[in-house]
């Protein structure tokens, strides 16, 4: 399974790069992403700080831009929750993916809103680490890991600061292609803001 996931992900990445080798965009984003924890008041947040880096460039039309990206999040749980008969886990994930951005204001003269529509594919490698606690049977937990692909859609906007630099904001929703207990089958989301450098 792991080999198939890697091959399919990076095959699609290679298709994008071979289709257009002009790498002229670099961006760094910071934001929040839904993690694998269930909300429990002040015990833990269901969202984690999420940095992301991108490289990409224009495709055959200026209103289409491709990129590849890497992101990482960690829920920061380091000690057991104060809950009886419950096992505490900490989760982290590496994300690698590719996206295509469609800029309608560059495709249609009458469209004036600075929007970008986003579609992509992401590979998620999630690690589950046992932190502490015992279940009703007195059994402690065991760490594990899962890997899955997601189809992604999103919406964003950019504001030009100078000719080569822009401020961007975007939200993405990730729809897993396989169902896991840890992952919401209806998808989970992220919201990011960052700087885009075009050279």
Percent of the chain with pLDDT over 90: 42
Q: pTM of the prediction? A: 0.83
Which CATH architecture describes the domain 2-198? Beta Barrel (2.40)
| Per-residue pLDDT reduced to its tens digit, 34-80 | 988 876 555 678 899 999 999 988 888 888 998 999 999 998 888 87
Residue 3: its pLDDT value, please?
46
| Per-residue pLDDT reduced to its tens digit, 137-154 | 656 667 788 899 999 999
- Any idea how long the chain is? 199
If pLDDT is split at 50, 70 and 90, which confidence band does 109 have? confident
CB burial of 76-101 (b: ≥16 within 10 Å; e: otherwise) equals ebeebbeeeeebbbbbbbebbbbbbb
């Amino acid at each position: 399974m792991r080999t198939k996931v890697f091959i399919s992900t990076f095959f699609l990445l290679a298709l994008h790069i071979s289709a257009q080798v002009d790498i002229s965009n670099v961006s760094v984003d910071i934001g929040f992403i839904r993690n694998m924890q269930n909300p429990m008041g002040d015990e833990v947040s269901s969202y984690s700080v999420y940095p992301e880096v991108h490289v990409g460039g224009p495709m055959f039309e200026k209103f289409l831009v491709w990129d590849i990206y890497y992101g990482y999040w960690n829920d920061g749980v380091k000690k057991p929750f104060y809950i009886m008969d419950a096992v505490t886990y900490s989760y982290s994930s590496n994300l690698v993916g590719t996206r295509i951005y469609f800029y309608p204001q560059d495709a249609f003269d009458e469209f004036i809103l600075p929007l970008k529509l986003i579609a992509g594919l992401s590979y998620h490698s999630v690690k589950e680490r046992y932190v502490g606690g015992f279940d009703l049977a007195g059994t402690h937990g065991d760490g594990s890991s899962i890997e899955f692909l997601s189809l992604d859609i999103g919406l964003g906007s950019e504001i030009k600061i100078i000719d080569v630099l822009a401020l961007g904001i975007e939200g993405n929703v990730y729809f897993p292609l396989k169902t896991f207990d840890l992952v919401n089958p209806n998808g989970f989301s992220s919201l990011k803001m960052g700087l885009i450098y075009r050279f």
